[in-house]
Structure 1
Amino acid sequence: MTDDAKRLIDAARDAAQNAYAPYSGFAVGAAILLSDGEIVTGANFENASYGLSLCAETVAMAKVGNLGRLGDVVAVGISGSPIGVDSEAAVHPCGRCRQILNEAAQLGGRDLAVHCAGSSGDVYQTHHLSTLLPHAFGPADLPPQKG
């Protein structure tokens, strides 16, 4: 496991401990590596009105956006499993989260590394966002904004 992957997966596992997941019973944590080495984390946050729930990656990206650092995203780590269950099965970002990650990737001109793991063990998978979301739509596809 690379140093960045280990740091991100460990941070994502820690973040998953703060998940609010009473409806799915599935805790997910995400950790985002910025260009200066800072790591920003998030955990899934569910709601009784299911459509209002937020994935861990979305929570973490919103925090990065609030820091004004969307263009500084370098890599992402994701970890999750059913609450109370240790699992080595890798968790991958949903389609919505892939699109949200793509926003930062295009703003920063990077193809993000996405490290996916379960809640335990050393097993993980690394993908590039371009393979998880080929032919992505993003900021570069929009017409220039008028002044």
Structure 2
Amino acid sequence: MNGLIARAREMQDASHVPYSEYRVGAALETADGSVFAGCNLEVVNFSNSLHAEEVAIAEAVKAGHREFERLAVSSDRRDGVTPCGMCRQTLAEFCDAELVVACDEGDDADGKPVVTTHTLGELLPAAMEQDDLA
């Protein structure tokens, strides 16, 4: 898990956050072990901004992946940020409820990442599904 957290932390440097100044990175591991990463990108119209998790999953789907194992999310504040509701629903479109979501809480006294984990199902227990559109 530490490698995935490290990749999410690295992605924060690429964030474009002139308004919130809140850098977020995400790293998504596929079933075959590939890792796709993303960062948040803000624009003046916040509704058009992209979240790090969305960017990571878009990169993975664009590359043909549809099976995912783990997601790491990290902010520059090391505050244990979890995916927002919109990102949770996007993840639910492509990931099952057992997807492990690792949230970066910072480092311990030895410099090792402190991580809180959840499943996507715990974070979004009543996800909308395709049948809900009928």
| 1:88 CA displacement | 3.6
1: CA distance between counterparts of 2:23 and 2:102?
17
Match of 1:116 in 2: 103
Match of 1:102 in 2: 92
1: CA distance between counterparts of 2:116 and 2:89?
19
| Consecutive unaligned residues in structure 1, runs of 5 or more | 82-86
| 1:138 CA displacement | 2.3
| 1:105 CA displacement | 1.3
CA deviations over 1:16-74 (Å, ceiling 9, x no partner): 111011110000000000111110000000001111101000111111111121x2211
CA contact (8 A) 1:111 1:130 kept: yes
1: CA distance between counterparts of 2:124 and 2:26?
18
CA deviations over 1:55-104 (Å, ceiling 9, x no partner): 000111111111121x22111000003xxxxx442111100000011111
Matched, 1:130 2:121: yes
| Consecutive unaligned residues in structure 2, runs of 5 or more | 108-112
Q: Partner letter of residue 60 of structure 1?
A: A
- What TM-score, normalized to structure 2? 0.89
CA contact (8 A) 1:88 1:123 kept: no
2: CA distance between counterparts of 1:96 and 1:68?
22
Q: Which runs of 4+ in 1 moved over 3 A?
A: 139-143
- What TM-score, normalized to structure 1? 0.81
